[in-house]
Structure 1
Amino acid sequence: MHATALSPDDLHAEFAGAEGYLAACSTGLPSRATRAAIIADLDARPDLHHYAAVAERCRAHFARLVSTAPERVALGSQTSVMVGILAASLPEGATVLCPEGEFSSLVLPFVHAGRGIRVRAVPLADLAEAVDAAVDLVAFSIVQSATGEVADAAAIAASSRRHGARTLCDATQAAGWLPVDASMFDALVCHTYKWLCTPRGLTFLALDDEYAAALAPIHAGWYAGEDPWAACYGADASLAASARRFDVSPAWQATVGAEPALALFADADASALHARVTGLARVFREKLGLPEPLRPTPIVTWPDPAGADLSRLTAAGIVASGRRGNARLAFHVFNDDGDVDLAVRALRA
């Protein structure tokens, strides 16, 4: 954390028009700086070298956010595309262990990889104990999308190391409120449009050096070249020695909007941010008599099979979501106590 780390109040001030928006787990809201950057880009003439520089700043911000080096970070557009790199490099007959109900983009690349690759699912709480010598890769979201449940990442990583299995952690529902250290895992993937509040279309893959050396750059294009501008034509281009060899050519406008958002969260006081958003969720649970989870999370879910509670929230002007028969709310840094009270009143009406 930098000496000049931004407080939750500093971050809150960077967002406008967030009242009643309790859906960061679906998609974040743009900050003032993101709005300004996108508008300025639309008013300017396209400059590909400028876009490339913006993409590199995005890479550096994300690396700082997850405590790794920029040269260990590849950038792309979708989670499943980046996971596909790992799936393509698994040996024939490999076993992938994942939590039950895991988000599809993390598991379907393995399910459909062919070559006899087997995907086995167990309850998240049992994931660490389920790792054995037959498991080649453990793939899990550190925060579950459907429920907000926070995994015991340290136990999962330790068990995987003991049994010689690699780990792939999806931080899409975590980065932006939960401090994440990419060095705990062999690979960490993150789409940034949720809690990091970027435009949709920018995903990162952070790789351990040893694991990166074992992967094939199956999506390699001109942007994966050591010098992208010299790698536009022909089959003899040299790929980057760093994790950039796994890059997918970035969506330029997405990176323009993402750069200030990523800088904002990389500069944040991570512990204070975690306390703020989980505290809002805790107060909401207390007011409605909902149980506290094992580990603090800003995502609140409860049974709502007919969608009645979700309808009440929507009627009150609240943006929320429903997943797997549950109502789901998310409290982020752009929310405050007023959003808690608004949701409570809607549900008690």
Structure 2
Amino acid sequence: MTSRATASPLSLDALREHFTVRPGYLSACMIGVPPREAVEALTADLAAFAEGHRDPGSYGVAVERAREAFARLSGVPADHVAVGSQASVTAGMIASSLPAGSEVLVVEGDFSSMVFPFVVQEQQGRLSVRCVPLDALAASIRPETALVSFSLVQSATGAVADVDAVLEAAAAHGAATFCDTTQAVGWMPVDASRFDATVCHSYKWLCAPRGCCFTTLRPAFAARLVPNSAGWYSGDDVWGSCYGPGMRLAGSARRFDVSPAWQAWIGAAESLELFASADAEEIRRHCVGLADALCRRLGVSEAHSAIVTWPDEDGRAIAALTEAGIAASSRSGRVRVAFHVWNDASDVERVCAALGLSA
């Protein structure tokens, strides 16, 4: 694939041409849909895999392509990006690296991967964890707070964090910031350089296979972390680090790399390069425009997020959407729909028709 790094940004219309998605798919917040290039690359790799004689080095090329693309998407140098498989691995590494007695501030109802690793350390008597509502996060940061762990966009509700307020308060009290951008990168512009650390799984809005996760680290914060998952892929010379005990880890964020699930990265490289080539602000306007239009029809407050949720304690709404062939999801007693590049105004109408809302 020819690199799109130096090409003009793809327009939304051009980006949409890379997807073949049936109408009514409103669940990118749960699992994305791969572009045709990713499907073709994975199919070709599977055929080559079946024939044997596969060169493992080719998978390393795909990993680096994906790393470079994610760096462009997140506004950081590639050597600030580590690769892995799960967000909780990064959170666990950060949690175990904090000094004993540190206070960690987390968000009530946040995705568990941003909460449980710190709670585990609290149960071991190492950390103190304080949980507050998202809208109280900035005001709850205090001098004792060592780390603020939160999602940029909440998985259960689609609520977008007030990043400016959180970062201002964290800076005022000397707290580090750790942000999960999984429900953000792909539909909205994200500047990961503003945070001490971020983590992002790419199987949702970035439409990559599951198993490809990215961590960004400011060098000063990275120096405080222990690479407790270090393995051969963390080595300064990857293929020269297959055997111990001599250990020379990479000097960049690669020392936090976790050995990649090879095949997944073949598809991820294609998906990530596609999104890195697109106009992120145009994508945001498109997704939020559709989501806010649905909010108005539902009679709920516009959240200015690509995710729309509303109460559904009895499950009637999700049942109606499913019956109408609409792919949606249900979380924490709320029905959840998400608008991505392949959606358009007709999907808003599908939801409304399924719920019996008049035009």
TM-score (norm 2): 0.95
Give the counterpart of 1:331 among 323, 336, 339.
Answer: 339
Aligned to 1:95: 103
1:138 paired to 2:148: yes
Of 299-308 and 40-49, the range deviating more from structure 2? 40-49
Aligned to 1:17: 21
Give the counterpart of 2:8 among 4, 7, 32.
Answer: 4
Pairwise CA RMSD of aligned residues? 1.2
1:108 paired to 2:116: yes
1:180 paired to 2:190: yes
TM-superposition CA deviations, 1:264-305 (whole Å, max 9, x none): 111111111100000111111222222212xx1010011100
**How big is the shift at 1:339?**
1.3
Take 2:165 and 2:297, find their aligned partners in 1: how far apart are those partners?
32
Kept after mapping to 2: 8 A contact 1:148/1:301? yes
Take 2:97 and 2:244, find their aligned partners in 1: how far apart are those partners?
25
Aligned to 1:168: 178
**How big is the shift at 1:2?**
6.3
Aligned to 2:237: 227
1:348 paired to 2:343: no
Aligned to 1:312: 320
Report 1:185-196 matches (<5 A).
185-196=195-206
TM-superposition CA deviations, 1:185-233 (whole Å, max 9, x none): 0001001100000000011110000011111110000010000111001
Aligned to 1:264: 274
TM-superposition CA deviations, 1:216-259 (whole Å, max 9, x none): 11000001000011100111031101110000000111100111
Take 2:257 and 2:87, find their aligned partners in 1: how far apart are those partners?
13
TM-score (norm 1): 0.97
Kept after mapping to 2: 8 A contact 1:74/1:244? yes
Take 1:38 and 1:124, find their aligned partners in 2: how far apart are those partners?
39
Kept after mapping to 2: 8 A contact 1:169/1:189? yes
Give the counterpart of 2:55 among 47, 51, 75.
Answer: 47
Take 2:175 and 2:291, find their aligned partners in 1: how far apart are those partners?
35
Take 2:69 and 2:59, find their aligned partners in 1: how far apart are those partners?
15
Q: Aligned with 1:126: secondary structure?
A: helix
Aligned to 1:27: 31
List 4+ stretches of structure 1 deviating above 6 A.
none
Aligned to 2:226: 216
Structure 1 unaligned regions, length at least 5: none
Aligned to 1:155: 165
Q: Percent identity?
A: 51
Q: For residue 86 of structure 1, what is the amino acid of its counterpart?
A: I
1:252 paired to 2:262: yes
Aligned to 2:42: 38
Q: Aligned with 1:74: secondary structure?
A: strand
Q: Aligned with 1:138: secondary structure?
A: strand
Kept after mapping to 2: 8 A contact 1:230/1:237? no
Q: Aligned with 1:51: secondary structure?
A: helix
**How big is the shift at 1:151?**
0.4
Q: For this pair of structures, how many residues does the alignment match?
A: 347
Take 2:298 and 2:159, find their aligned partners in 1: how far apart are those partners?
19
Kept after mapping to 1: 8 A contact 2:203/2:210? yes
Structure 2 unaligned regions, length at least 5: none
Aligned to 1:302: 310
Of 217-226 and 112-121, the range deviating more from structure 2? 112-121
Kept after mapping to 1: 8 A contact 2:12/2:282? yes
Q: Aligned with 1:346: secondary structure?
A: helix
Take 1:58 and 1:338, find their aligned partners in 2: how far apart are those partners?
33
Aligned to 2:84: 76
Q: Aligned with 1:112: secondary structure?
A: helix
Kept after mapping to 2: 8 A contact 1:154/1:184? no
Q: Aligned with 1:109: secondary structure?
A: helix
Aligned to 2:330: 322
Q: Aligned with 2:83: secondary structure?
A: strand
1:197 paired to 2:201: no
Take 2:278 and 2:131, find their aligned partners in 1: how far apart are those partners?
35
**How big is the shift at 1:3?**
6.3
1:59 paired to 2:63: no
Kept after mapping to 2: 8 A contact 1:174/1:195? yes
1:289 paired to 2:299: yes
Q: For residue 105 of structure 2, what is the amino acid of its counterpart?
A: L
Q: Aligned with 2:115: secondary structure?
A: helix
